[in-house]
Amino acid sequence: MSAEALQENVNERTSREVAESARETEWNRPSFAKGLYLGRCDISLIHPHPSSTHAGDDDGEEFLARLTSLLAAMDGQLIERDSLIPDEYLRDLAELGVFGIKIPREFGGLGLSLTYYGRALMLLTSVHPSLGALVSAHQSIGVPEPVRMFGTPEQKQEYLPRCASGAISAFLLTEPDVGSDPARMNATATRNDDDGIYVLNGSKLWTTNGVIAELIVVMATVPPHSGGRGGISAFVVEADAPGITVTHRNAFMGLRGIENGVTRFENVRIPIANRLGKEGQGLKIALTTLNTGRLSIPANCAAAGKWSLKIAREWSGARVQWGRPIGRHEAVAQKISFIAATAFALESVFELSAALADSGQKDVRIEAALAKLWSSEMAYRIADELMQIRGGRGYESAASLKARGERAVPVEQQLRDLRINRIFEGSSEIMHLLIAREAVDAHLAAAGDLASSDADLLAKAKAAAGASSFYAGWLPHLLAGPGLSPRSYSDFGRLAGHVRYVERASRRLARHTFLGMARWQAKLEHRQVFLGRIVDIGAELFAMAATCSHAKHLEGQGRREAGELAEVFCRQSRLRIEQLFSDLWKNTDSADTRLAGSVLDGRHTWLEEGVLDQSEGTGPWIADHPEGSSGGENLHRKYR
């Protein structure tokens, strides 16, 4: 069956059903972040700050010391200039064990925790973000993680030692016309039981590491066959298998050393033994892998925050304006305060999320998603403020600064490099929808057919009775809590007031979510901006709680000044939260939707007159990728 035939009946409903079927719906372990959206701020889940009991972490500090020594000899500007990570850098990283940081020791890896893995990514990213992207694409979402989680004993023994020793891997899901809508997937893996194989055809876009990968995880649709219903499935594939061609190495605004390409498959024969899990489990495998895989981005963002703070502090003390260092002027001091407080919060969000994941006792699906969403947005704000502090020197490239005898500070590069984090592994818009689905899950379950646009009046009447029972027990809980008592959370000291605010705001958030559900019912899913604000409020509350917990943890270790950073961050965050609460009901959402419709209908094309669009005629918006031979050069290369 052709890809076109598989897509023939794909519409909004079927797309939603595909995504919903892959979503994990069980909550067998507690989740602090999920509780925030339900008005339940169980601070005991994150305070005292969880400590890692990971068996391999005894060697973590020693590994970081050796990694620091190795990276100190690497030149990030060389990578930036050549848009390439030198092969010798890759070999040195492999020899040190960087490609097996999280892989269990029994399979040749270092067996370190997510916490130490993230700290290693911070070091890598601070040399050049392409190094962090390389390692995280390989180890967070590439072959090692899905094989470790879903592979058979034979698959683990076959692939994990190779990955640990330096066989770089990639994760292939996105297609030229398929991003966050997997129901439209074109790549097919047709089962041939006579030969015991699948035959893979199709094309994948933005294959990070795909240009140099030895192993790849490919998501493809298995057409229905006599032995089963098929569905989206996951396969481990040798990157040099006959029929695989890297047709293009993509170039981007940032991450100029990234090995990202377009990969084409023409009648690639894959043994059935290479399938991960069952047929139809591919999307679930992908989403589950991403749950903790997303924590690589908060680690990279925390590194950017730390570096930005260092540059802001040093430059603002050295640059004198009107008789004083610019950092002593209030306009710049406010920016330095924001950078310092938010850099501390970025580190806190990563450290808490990683520690929760390492403990294995909490469900961190929402924590990881919130950490990715919030960190990517805030790190970019920091970079923008740093550029403003640096002025023209921030806009000037490091190479140009160096050429005229000044310190080569790559601020403009950081701004370019960080921008992708708001798109990588789920854009901010998609993350809003993903988290919102979990945030309103209890409401949807209680509402039943009330939240269904397809239900008839009788079904909605029955659902209303069931919903009334749920809300009768739940709503009174939202009216009062420990956040109203001035003595609550006293062990947080000066930060206790902020923790009480988190508790009160959590209940307030749940009430507003209920009001949205009552007002729009089945149409709530289309109120994406409203839901986005709900998610953003929860993200800020999570960041506040993480920052308070981390500050108390550091104070216990003698770092008493951490409380000052947490105090200021919480004050800044509370202002953002209050604005978001106000924007829930006082906004231009309806007017924006109407205007966007008018624009799309072509009513305002007159406004586009008076400029030239030199992109016209250069190609279609989305390139056609027909099946069959590409006829071009294979750009895949080996580094070892």
Residues that are catalytic: 425
Per-residue tokens: 472: 């009768």
Q: Contact at 8 Å (CB) between 229 and 299?
A: no
Tokens 């507690």 locate to: 30
Q: Phi, psi at residue 531, to the nearest 5°?
A: -65, -35
Distance from chain centroid for Cα 16: 21
194 three-class SS: coil
Helices 528-556, 428-439: axis angle to 10 degrees equals 90
Q: Would you give the DSSP letter of residue 73?
A: T
How many CB atoms within 10 Å of residue 429? 15
Q: Would you give the DSSP letter of residue 175?
A: B
Per-residue tokens: 554: 């550091």
Pairing status of strand 169-172 against strand 215-222: parallel
Residues 6+ apart with CB under 8 A from 607: none
CA neighbours closer than 13 Å in the CB half-sphere of residue 93: 28
Rounded Cα distance, 505 and 357, in Å: 25
Burial 607-630 (b: 16+ CB within 10 A, else e): eeeeeeeeeeeeeeeeeebebeeb
Q: Does an H or E element contain 542, and which?
A: helix 528-556
CA neighbours closer than 13 Å in the CB half-sphere of residue 56: 19
How many CB atoms within 10 Å of residue 125? 26
